[in-house]
Amino acid sequence: MSTEFVPAAEVRPVAFAVHASDHVERGRRRGEELRTGIASTVDAYRRYFSHLSIAEAAVESAAESSRRRLQKWWPTGAEEVEAVAAGAGIEVIELMEIIARTEIMTQAKAAPTECSTVSHTSPGASVAAQNWDWAADFSTLWHFNDVGSVPGQHRHVGIAEFGMLGKIGLNEAGVGVLLNILKHTGDTAGGVPIHMILARVLAEAGTLAEALEIIDSAPTSSSSIITVITAEAAVQVEIAGGCKRERRARADHTADGETGTSGFLLHTNHFLHPDLLDGALELRPDSTSQERYRHLAEAVVRFEAERAVARDSGAVTVGDLTKLLTTGPGEAPVCCTPAPGAAYGDRSATLVSVRIDPARRQIDLAPGSPADGLDGNRRFQL
């Protein structure tokens, strides 16, 4: 298979902005305007599923099961998905192969790639950032996603893979979400797609409590960690199949399971909540999750020590988080770059650097990792 792909930092993604009178019209416009990207992404995932030895019939069955679960859990979202498919000129089940790709991949022996997320809770000034790592072959198959409000829903901005309604982002109410994949023995295909949960939080949640309620209500079947960020606080929701547990920085400025003591929460790609450790799995045999977590925990300790020496009591910023998420040669691959000549299916990359400041209603999105210089950064103001 080809070893060609576009380096993530060189990508200049489509900036898709959609405004409509209702969710169905909005979906149709997404499908029509992003038709080429959606078709390319369907083809890319079919190739990827085949590489992961997931049979075509199993892909279709999982996608259909997730579609039925979605229809019951969020009928409005299911209607918008149907409108996207119609606008793109494809069958709904084809589009669901993109939207439910996390659930479909529970049928593979190993998950493909990993991510790193850092957040800091400070009442009124909480912030979060993530290096979104995915298969390098998908480096051109995402876009800036500026979704206009419709009755009962908020405007939200972030990134999305072509065909998805939403992914990582921030809404105009100041509620943001980030995502890391996890793996557990309880994982199965067919649950409500994790990406539709993200889309619903961005569309409907006006508060931290509302976001957590939406996540808790979803009948999930695959494992992930959703970080919800508002100016009030950052909360991690670990999902193991159908089980969910929250992790928070405590009010006394100690953290649940963290090295830091001033509101930091970290996550890579292994379970941390003690209730979910039984059955927890590494994503793949060569996972760097533990190594990246240790690196970030040590970086937080150094950061706090430097602030103490400088007597710096100012707010932690997204710029501070970006520095924590920046690594180079010889360090744990928080900034992920494919090895030269790496084969298809074995080359991961940090495709996007994300920074969210809910109090300011700002989200920064840059192709590539912080180590690449963030030259393509776009700041969106909601």
Tell me how many domains the chain contains: 1
Say which residue, 284 or 11, is predicted with more confidence: 11
pLDDT at 250: 63
pLDDT of residue 197: 98
In a domain, 210, yes or no: yes
Tens-place pLDDT, residues 252-296: 544 444 544 579 999 999 999 999 999 999 988 889 999 999 999
Greater confidence (174 vs 2) lies with 174
- pLDDT value of position 341: 82
pLDDT at 36 over 50: yes
| Residue at 188 is within a domain | yes
Q: Tell me the pLDDT tens digit for each residue of 56-68.
A: 999 999 999 999 9
CATH code, domain with 359: 3.60.60.10
Answer whether residue 140 is part of any domain.
Answer: yes
**pLDDT at res. 253:** 47
**pLDDT in the model for residue 339:** 84
The predicted pLDDT at position 111 comes to: 64
Q: Is residue 361 part of a domain?
A: yes
Tell me, yes or no, whether 76 lies in a domain: no
pLDDT recorded at residue 297: 96
For the stretch 306-340, pLDDT in tens is 999 999 889 999 999 999 999 999 999 999 999 88
Q: What integer pLDDT is reported at residue 110 of this predicted model?
A: 73
Point out the least confidently predicted range of 2-11, 129-138, 167-176, 371-380. Answer: 2-11
Residue 24 lies in a domain: no
**Among 289, 325, 334, CA closest to 119:** 325
Q: Which of 381, 321, 327, 360 is nearest to 130 (CA)?
A: 321
Query: For 76-80, 140-144, 282-286, which range has the lowest pLDDT when averaged over its residues?
Result: 282-286
Given a cut of 80, whether residue 221 has pLDDT beyond it is: yes
Asked whether residue 56 is domain-assigned, the answer is: no
Task: Flag whether 9 is in a domain.
Answer: no
Per-residue pLDDT, 264: 96
The whole-number pLDDT of residue 1 equals 42
Query: 182 lies in which domain range?
Result: 116-381
